[in-house]
Structure 1
């Protein structure tokens, strides 16, 4: 329906479409327009005199004839629109009785008391008349624009709103705007009084799911959430105020209850406000509203971060980096790590491209600048080490669109002074933006404290090893005395053989060979003791934990024998290697076994035993040292690794603490518990197997 045109049909049934009541046949002859009724577009049931004048057939010739056979069919889509809306209008090419054709403007409607009864009203059209040509062109452009445009358009009858406004004036309401603003229920009534006449296909996509009939027959207030009542009211007030149009953002609701943001546009043509139909447009702007909201939130967060006095926040721009990434992706580069391996100079090039665009006061202090102006526009060159590994990892993360990167890095102030910082890079969620946000916390003091703790840990570990050597002195003497005694005996025998009148050279050679083997054994023992006593870091290598246990057991052989301790060993057949420092692991296991020996002082000889158990499970290798002593004391069980607590007269109280430190340095842990079977305590070292996942 074109704005301003009114059907002459008698309208009834608000909310169900537009229908026409049956009219007595004798009254149809009073009309100057052709009026024909049919049974659902088929058999003709009435034919007035104007139809005879227009088409040539007399009523007795036309009645009962199928209308499509007599005059020609309706255009494609006319019947579906009639059934959906109750009304269709358009131009139709019709046959006359004399065989000629004529173009008529048809308005077709359903009767209210029988939807299978249709009434059409036709008027002839002279296609050559200039006014008709202009009107046809206008209607063609309008209908094409109405149906094809990407926005949702509704043709709406606001006459009900006009009636309500007139009623308010008759009641003496002078301040219409003020009255409506405090009476939202009346505004909702205005919505229900507004009828949707037509919609385009985009409306079904935006306000569906459903059909055009569903959209048209749904009361208007269903589409406007309560929170948007004021937006609808403002459009009404714009019409009352004589404005030519009203444009505003609002919140709309679809048939399925889904809400979305829309740009609401309505044009008020002269003579249509409260009296005719208006064209209303809706454009879905949900994405734009969300993007704007996210941008505003990001801007607010950025401002809040820049105002934080304790965190150095910098904004850096790298437009060339963005262009480089785009080019590399177009060239098919997916592995930035491999690409930088081939082009290591890229890290320093990108450092030179990253330039400060905004900094807060904390960043000014962090870099030792006099003011923000001294940093703005400066690149990261000179502030990071050349080929900085942390910057490289950040670049690799940015390339794969990793939103956040965090690492510790050593940087330099403007005067060249180094400092340690926790570096956090946050990329802009907008892929077209070249800016990144960097937050930094000066952790120089924490790093110094951490290094000092590590130095003290190494010293404590060294002290523990020296104490262990004192405890193992008897075993050490025994270990060395055996090969030394053997060397002395073999040397004496060799001397006698050498002084014999006829030296037995073959036997002498065997004796000297045994002397050499025992000398090598002494050297190995001394080397092991020196390594245990040395305070130096030893590279971690793959090794067999079973071999380390066997070597530790051999080291304590004398101590175990003197204390009458029986040692048993149980192990899995397939025991993977672990990565570690052989000497440190020997120290750990020796500590556990010495503690076990001393814990069994009160246990009678013959009942003293240490059970060594080696297991492999879920990528971990464990070595358990279990004794047959009295078990763990209650306070010890609560905190077994408390430092400087000992029951030994000459103990340091740091043995188990050192054991735990060694275990954690190897990526493992220590577990302490009472034995599940019998009395005694069990201490377990658990280490990751070589090749297991982190």
Structure 2
């Protein structure tokens, strides 16, 4: 935004402008546009004054003194308004892939940087610790306890750490810089009268609700109070452990909110004319009437209502009609012109019962103004197209209108799928290498039940040939033959599963069982190398959610590495210390050895690919272990033991 009343001074500067020109918002705000990046052509100024809008290409200066060519759209906000709005995008001549990537990032930042909402990333782990203390004190009714203990609510606020904020937060909660906002304790932003609203968000989290939306009263750093729409979504595994993204929309000044959301006709026209973002307007007045009826009937949980009425999502899709589209939307759906889409419903453009559309509908019912996700849609000819989908609802819920922004990410999705396929192939190669290293243990494990079967079969034959039949003893022997045959089959199936290159569904698993099964697999090699194995574990351990074969692969890799690291350790001092413990909702499995420890090069880059000291190694074992851990939502930590040796820790979230 530029104020022409003061000689073309910059009044608003978003992250997209920073990406193009290099100046941060705090450096650009209040500066003269001509001094910073260069003036507008005289023809542009005359055109805006006469017609209200101008577009064209001009040369601009960057912070590093280089120049760039940008495409400019310049418009006056209103007839008598002395504020002008500029939308600029770079005209690149580089590699097509780099241009597409830069344009995708620019479009994303430009779209969401303009949303009139303050977003905070909050670390709620301190709240989780306080809740655990309350439960340990024997409190069962958390809701009643919070309502009766306002000091605990304020303590939870102080225990919540602000990790990051967006630029809109500075405008809404300032004055000050982003650092000032982050270092200010959270309870200073919540007036005493709003403590109950904060407590309700905590109750929504611990009761398993996917989101919490409420109107509340907030306080800026200068003491100014204002009304805000408070929105937070609770993703699995983040409550009490990770960070949450919360949003605040200032609803005390409807004019400002409408202006920032782009409802002014000139800005709306500018957005709809952006050539690279697929923008469309949808209307569904019938759905608004249905929402009103459901609220009158007392329906508060639309998710449960849709579970009971599975056709509801498709009914809403059929009632959502395009009322306006830009050229990018026409291209996205493979239409010949806008007329092919205007008036058309979403039926056929989304999958029946589309989960993303369902979550957007549920968000709209909960009066969440913004929803974003990835969605697979279909062109008019039926070809699939993956897009980044953002829905911004009208400030007037009764209108049933929404603006939809979409960016084609089909190629990015394909790239992600290819990376995942390559990861699976690498993991498979690592498992095959591991099986080769464990061949002696596998042969030993299978030979035991087979030998037992042969011995019991010979005994059964002797009993069968005896003059007097001993049927009871013969029955016991044949039963043992059957048990050993089953054990052999289980061993073979476990080896086949480890060697197979297939996906296995995530299930609840006991890490104690994983340790026991892996020790059995390695027992022969441990015995031959003279290695003692110890296990220390907590009395109570929660399960983890994972793939049994992949977690066995991780532990086997770490133990085999430990075995080979102790080749130079004197016999009698070779030991692998295993420990299983839990800390703050994380299950920790440590594998520690008494070998020589880690080299400086290894400590510097512990997960470097294709580095190995083994003559037949691939150098990807530890990298695959980390990849599997991250796919399970966990991590691998590496350290030297203080008294010699190395320790590797697999950390996984409790199920």
TM range (shorter): 0.5 to 0.7
> Are the counterparts in 1 of residues 258 and 395 from structure 2 also a CA contact under 8 Å?
no
User: Would the alpha carbon gap of residues 417 and 291 (structure 1) be closer, same or farther in structure 2, given more than 3 Å must change?
Assistant: closer
> Over residues 587-626 of structure 1, what are the superposed CA-to-partner deviations in whole Å (9 max), with x where a residue is unaligned?
1100110011111111111111110000011111111001
Deviation at 1:520, TM superposition (A): 2.0
Deviation at 1:473, TM superposition (A): 0.5
Deviation at 1:296, TM superposition (A): 6.7
> Over residues 513-551 of structure 1, what are the superposed CA-to-partner deviations in whole Å (9 max), with x where a residue is unaligned?
322222222122112111111222222222210111011
Map of 2:647 onto structure 1 = 682
User: Would the alpha carbon gap of residues 376 and 567 (structure 1) be closer, same or farther in structure 2, given more than 3 Å must change?
Assistant: same
Map of 2:496 onto structure 1 = 530
User: Would the alpha carbon gap of residues 290 and 313 (structure 1) be closer, same or farther in structure 2, given more than 3 Å must change?
Assistant: closer
Map of 1:625 onto structure 2 = 591
Q: Give the Cα separation in 2 of the matches to 1:298 and 1:571.
A: 64
Say which SS state the counterpart of residue 556 (structure 1) adopts.
helix
- 1:660 matched to 2:626: yes
Deviation at 1:500, TM superposition (A): 3.1
- 1:325 matched to 2:297: no
Q: Provide structure 1 residue ranges, at least 5 long, that are not aligned to the other structure.
A: 1-257, 259-285
- 1:482 matched to 2:448: yes
Q: Give the Cα separation in 2 of the matches to 1:520 and 1:541.
A: 24
Deviation at 1:489, TM superposition (A): 2.1
- 1:579 matched to 2:545: yes
Greater alpha carbon shift after TM alignment, 505-514 vs 364-373:
505-514
Q: Which of 573, 580, 583 is equivalent to 1:607? A: 573
1:504-523 equivalent positions in 2, closer than 5 A: 504-523=470-489
User: Would the alpha carbon gap of residues 563 and 300 (structure 1) be closer, same or farther in structure 2, given more than 3 Å must change?
Assistant: farther
> Over residues 44-86 of structure 1, what are the superposed CA-to-partner deviations in whole Å (9 max), with x where a residue is unaligned?
xxxxxxxxxxxxxxxxxxxxxxxxxxxxxxxxxxxxxxxxxxx
Q: Give the Cα separation in 1 of the matches to 2:524 and 2:396.
A: 72
RMSD (CA atoms)? 2.1
Q: Give the Cα separation in 2 of the matches to 1:584 and 1:546.
A: 15
User: Would the alpha carbon gap of residues 296 and 543 (structure 1) be closer, same or farther in structure 2, given more than 3 Å must change?
Assistant: closer
Greater alpha carbon shift after TM alignment, 530-539 vs 615-624:
530-539
- 1:401 matched to 2:370: no
State the TM-score, normalizing by the size of structure 1: 0.56
Q: Give the Cα separation in 2 of the matches to 1:359 and 1:299.
A: 15
State the TM-score, normalizing by the size of structure 2: 0.59
Map of 2:437 onto structure 1 = 471
User: Would the alpha carbon gap of residues 294 and 550 (structure 1) be closer, same or farther in structure 2, given more than 3 Å must change?
Assistant: closer
1:205-604 equivalent positions in 2, closer than 5 A: 290=256, 298-604=264-570
Say which SS state the counterpart of residue 371 (structure 2) adopts.
strand
Q: Provide structure 2 residue ranges, at least 5 long, that are not aligned to the other structure.
A: 1-223, 225-251
Map of 2:28 onto structure 1 = none
Deviation at 1:322, TM superposition (A): 2.1
Deviation at 1:510, TM superposition (A): 2.9
Q: Give the Cα separation in 1 of the matches to 2:258 and 2:374.
A: 34
User: Would the alpha carbon gap of residues 618 and 292 (structure 1) be closer, same or farther in structure 2, given more than 3 Å must change?
Assistant: closer
- 1:671 matched to 2:632: no
Map of 2:151 onto structure 1 = none
Deviation at 1:475, TM superposition (A): 0.3
Q: Give the Cα separation in 1 of the matches to 2:575 and 2:507.
A: 32
Say which SS state the counterpart of residue 337 (structure 1) adopts.
helix
Deviation at 1:358, TM superposition (A): 1.8
Map of 1:191 onto structure 2 = none
User: Would the alpha carbon gap of residues 520 and 358 (structure 1) be closer, same or farther in structure 2, given more than 3 Å must change?
Assistant: same
Q: Give the Cα separation in 2 of the matches to 1:410 and 1:595.
A: 43
